[in-house]
Amino acid sequence: MERGSVSAKDFGEIDVDDAGKMSEVLGAGDMSDGARSALTTLCRKGLSREMKTVFDEIDKKVKTVVEAKDLQYNQINEKYSKTLIEKKQTESVIKSIAEGLVVLNDRDEVIMMNPAAEKILDISMADQIGKPVRSLVKDEHLMSLATGKGSPEDTEVELNAGSENAKKVLRSSSAVIQNESGRTVGMVSVFTDVTKQREVEDLKSQFISNVSHELRTPLVAVRNSIVIILNEKTGSLTEDQKKYLLIAERNIKQLSRFVDDLLDVSKMEAKKMELHPAPASTEVIINEVCETLEAWAQTKNISIVRNVQSNIPDIKMEKERIVQVLINLIGNAIKFTPTGGIITVEAKLKTEEKGNLLLVRIIDTGPGITKENISKLFNKFRQVGGKNPNDKSGGTGLGLYISKELIELHGGTIYVESTPGEGAMFAFTLPIT
Amino acid sequence: MAKARVLLVEDEPDIAQTTKVILEMNGYEVIIATNGVDGLSKVGSEKPDIAILDISLPEMNGFDICRKIKCNKNYRKLPVIMFSSKFQPNDITFAKALGADEYITKSAEPEALISKIEELLKKTP
């Protein structure tokens, strides 16, 4: 049936009784057959018109709805294809990145994995989607990488690659995926093969170690020779000769210390720094260091005040290393304190929840350090000078970094407090076991 | 009192010669060996009171000399100082494990070497 061309005929004849009822409604009472027939025809025509209007109305509405739906459908379709393109783009990006990427749901099942991850984890992704990662990855270390359960931060894992005899070093970082209400719904892990990078780092450490060795031997020979001449083993010296030999000696010592610092840093970077602790007296060490630095302090008319608590027991430490830290800290204080200043070296016991600690503090009357600089202070190669840009404080920027590493290797902490203009306080603690 | 005899096994001639003079300035008699085998034989022939051994040496390295000294019942009481310019991370542990009495790097001040020698000689009867 064609819409819009409905006529009353299609509904069949109207019952005569209905016509009678109609005439009753119209208040016509008994009608003649002619009148009845005429009325019936009239009703039919009226009804037919009425119906047509209704159907037209319906028709219009249907048309509007259909058109709206068509539009909506087109829009959805458009959005869908757009999303599809975007999805493909994202996928090809994920596929092409060198880093391995694994996405797990909250049941540790693999939702997504890129080819780099397949290669790094040495598994094939075909029909692995949806399987628990535990069934795919056998190596426990790899597991901790893939599930990010090792630690929230960057983790590094060393693997022995099965086929090749080479070691493989992977670095991973993971993040939890949360839904809108903050519930954890999965985990995304990214890992990088850093084997090459590690090789280069090792090579660098080895190189520094070799260079230091090559530098040290001639330095020692020069220094020894200067010591011999200065001791007038080769004949008496004039005052001028002594003066210049002392300059040479001082500079050779400085150079030797720098070579030692470089070597220390290369060991620290390679995590190969070893300690050989033995019980030692804090007081003896502090006295030794202060006496060594006394001459230098005097050139700037700086007095070093010692304040060491008397009942400090011998503490397990590597004496030479703690001496090194104290020389760095007190040496810095001398360097930055203006002429006539005072440096206080304090040592005392401190009781904390974890046990007893030795607390050593070096307080100077120098220019102090800004908050911004304090945060950079213990970084490698970072030199934080005074306010004056021409301030030639010298040094390599390694001393505080090395001191921090050494104190931490001893299980202690190192920190600094300062208000610009009011001097600085460097402090470190050592555990008493 | 007779001068204490120090055996210095060192293959770098400049280091050997200057260290010898510095030790002599401090009242020691110094015997030099320039390779490992010579060093070990001088332990027997020269009867030193203390031995200072460089680590990287031709023919026999300092660790081997130390091990041989400490494994020999006639010489094990001879104090040994390992004297190295190459500070390998495990060297100290290794040296101690072999029975070396002290470990010192060459770049340490000459006074440090002297005081270690004095300390060790005081301990040995």
A380 touches A244 (CB < 8 A): no
pLDDT at A77 over 60: yes
- A227/B15 CB distance under 8 A: no
B77 touches B49 (CB < 8 A): no
A33: domain range?
8-72
In a domain, A182, yes or no: yes
Q: Provide CB contacts within 8 A for A119, sequence distance 6+.
A: A100
In a domain, A86, yes or no: no
Stretch among A1-5, A142-146, B103-107 having the lowest mean pLDDT: A1-5
ipTM higher than the 0.90 cut? no
- pLDDT number for residue A388: 44
Question: Which of the four pLDDT bands, split at 50, 70 and 90, describes residue A241?
Answer: very high
- pLDDT number for residue A389: 41
One-character DSSP codes across A225-268: HHHHHHTTTTS---HHHHHHHHHHHHHHHHHHHHHHHHHHHHHH
- pLDDT number for residue A384: 60
C-alpha distance from A357 to closest chain B C-alpha (Å): 27
- Examine the fold and report which residue of A247, A269, A291 is the final residue of a domain before the chain moves on: A269
- Examine the fold and report which residue of A223, A238, A269 is the final residue of a domain before the chain moves on: A269
In a domain, A66, yes or no: yes
Task: Read off the tokens for A287.
Answer: 């006295």
User: Mind listing the pLDDT tens digit for each residue in A345-363?
Assistant: 999 998 888 788 999 999 9
Nearest-angstrom CA–CA distance, A65 and A56: 14
The owner of tokens 């620290």 is: A268
In a domain, A89, yes or no: no
Question: Which of the four pLDDT bands, split at 50, 70 and 90, describes residue A34?
Answer: confident
User: How many CB atoms sit inside 10 A of residue A415's CB?
Assistant: 14
Half-sphere exposure of A316 (CA within 13 A, CB side): 10
Question: What amino acid occupies position B11?
Answer: D
Q: Is A27 helix (H, G, I), strand (E, B) or coil?
A: coil
Question: Which of the four pLDDT bands, split at 50, 70 and 90, describes residue A289?
Answer: very high
Average pLDDT taken over every residue of chain A: 81
The owner of tokens 């069934």 is: A135
Average pLDDT over every residue of A333-344: 92
Provide the angle, in degrees to the nearest 10, between the axes of the packed helices A33-96 and A16-25: 100
Q: How many domains does chain A have?
A: 4
C-alpha distance from B33 to closest chain A C-alpha (Å): 17
Do A314 and A230 belong to one domain?
Answer: no
One-character DSSP codes across A397-416: S-HHHHHHHHHHHTT--EEE
User: Which of B32, B90, B107 to mutate to test binding with chain A, by most A CBs within 10 Å of its CB?
Assistant: B107
Question: Which of the four pLDDT bands, split at 50, 70 and 90, describes residue A63?
Answer: very high
Do A264 and A375 belong to one domain?
Answer: no
Do A311 and A414 belong to one domain?
Answer: yes
- pLDDT number for residue A16: 54
- A233/B21 CB distance under 8 A: yes
Identify the structural domains of chain B with CATH numbers, from first to last: 5-123 (3.40.50.2300)
- pLDDT number for residue A19: 57
The owner of tokens 């203006």 is: A338
Do A188 and A108 belong to one domain?
Answer: yes
In a domain, A82, yes or no: no
Residue in A218, A227, A276 closest to B110 by CB = A227
How far does CA B62 lie from the centroid of its chain? 9
